[in-house]
Amino acid sequence: MKRLLIILLFSTGFFAASAQPSTPPSGDLPPIAQEAYIWQRAWNEPVRDAIALHATNFTGLVVLNAEVTWKQGHPQVIHIPIDYASLLRAACPVGLALRIGPYPGPFTTNGQPMDQLAGLAVSLIAEAQANRLKIRELQIDFDCAESKLDGYRVWVETLRRRIAPVPLVITALPSWLNQNSFQYLARASDGYILQVHSLERPRDFASPFSLCDPAAARRAVEQAGQIDVPFRVALPTYGYLIAFAPDGHFIGLSAEGPAKTWPAGTRLREVRSDPVAMADLVRGWSLVHPAALQKIIWYRFPISLDVLNWSWPTLNAVKTGRSPRESFRLDTSRSAAGLTEISLVNDGEADLSSRPVIEVRWQHARLVASDGLRDFEVVDPGPNTLQFRARTTLIPSRLAPGERQAIGWLRLDGEVEVQIETKKP
């Protein structure tokens, strides 16, 4: 397969081809159900806390349980230990996800590697059930080449029989919808997840790129709606840092987790899921959607340690089809005579990535000292005024909803009131 995509967090696909009309507009159409992926590989306290606080906001969760890569045709398994107690307390329907890396074949109904994959799938379900967790489905997220979809169907048919009565669901790529083999692969499963998010390989540093093209997502969902197989659509909440060499060519990317060490001279750009665009998709599909579209599933469940993922206020707004509200305020404090400290507070629902110009004015006092902090610097200091402006940077730090950032301070030689005003950059 021509791999134009650098990374797809779930990669796989399927489809079928019998015409089915879209659901007509109706005031009685119920809100579209929404689920979320828990894709963390370490179930630490932030993961458990997020589940306790937010799992009930979704109609279901799908948790990554194991990953398979291949070495000389033999599966290498990484098992992700799940905190079953947290999921039981959440009282939310749960599915398990099995991630399978690229495999060239052959695809058979028995022998290796089918027996090993089937054994792994059965063991994951058995472990969950032994921990009193009822599994709604097993999702297979296989990075399958388009030329191998017929072979993949052999695996799906076999795995579905082996794990019955637990339903088997697979993930699908929009690029697979034009393949004739999709209809057979789709009908071999109990449903699929259409992943409309990905990152195409950037041509150079200046090229535009996004994680989800709303127009392409709508087209893919409409095309999927023509197939008589139930499906969900996966939408992104996450982001990446994209790295480029000094000459502008792409060299790599990084996501959540420990920061990568890049070569000297590396330039970084940030790409994130656009909450306004995703809210528009949710709003549109809540009013009109193909009959086969059952749910939206978000990749992925936010936790407090995330840096590139949405915050909960953002996701909660987008889930309702509403663009997150943007709002901020300035707070001042005095910890010593003549000293004024200024903080920027995000009291909205969206990350604050742009920074206002902050002008400070006073009378009957002399400026003794001042300084900007973090993203800000002092500019144009005068006898009775100065400004704090954001420093020029390719990757401005984001201020998440509810967060506070100290932006600077000034010290005057007298105890006088200061006036603060924000201006557009």
Domains in the chain, CATH or no CATH each: 5-319 (3.20.20.80), 328-423 (2.60.40.2230)
Task: Please name the residue that has the structure tokens 């005579």.
Answer: 337
Q: d(Cα 398, Cα 403) in Å, to the nearest integer?
A: 10
Nearest to 254 by CA among 273, 264, 234, 239: 239
Nearest to 167 by CA among 217, 219, 93, 220: 93
Query: Does the CA dihedral 102-107-113-114 come out positive or negative?
Result: positive
Q: Is the pLDDT of residue 18 over 60?
A: no
- pTM for this predicted structure: 0.88
Q: Is the pLDDT of residue 1 over 50?
A: no
Q: Is the pLDDT of residue 226 over 80?
A: yes
Helix and strand element counts for the chain (H, E): 8, 22
What was the pLDDT predicted at 396?
61
- pLDDT tens digit sequence for 104-138: 989 999 888 899 999 999 999 999 999 999 999 99
Say which DSSP state 295 is in: E
Q: d(Cα 50, Cα 37) in Å, to the nearest integer?
A: 12
- pLDDT tens digit sequence for 278-324: 999 999 999 999 999 999 999 999 999 998 999 999 999 999 999 99
Q: Mean pLDDT score of the chain, rounded to an integer?
A: 89
Q: Is the pLDDT of residue 27 over 60?
A: no
Longest CA–CA separation in the chain, Å: 87
- pLDDT tens digit sequence for 53-85: 999 999 999 999 999 999 988 899 999 999 999
Q: Is the pLDDT of residue 393 over 90?
A: no
Asked if 194 and 225 touch (Cβ cutoff 8 Å), the reply is: no
Give the three-class secondary structure for 319: helix
- Region of 335 on the Ramachandran plot (φ > 0 left; ψ -120 to 50 alpha; else beta): alpha
- pLDDT tens digit sequence for 202-220: 888 888 888 999 999 999 9
Q: DSSP for 146-169?
A: GGGHHHHHHHHHHHHHHHTTS-EE
Instruction: Tell me the average pLDDT across 129-157.
Output: 96
Q: Omega of the bond prior to 102 within 30 degrees of 0, cis?
A: no
What was the pLDDT predicted at 202?
82
What was the pLDDT predicted at 395?
59
Residue 52 bridge partners (DSSP): none
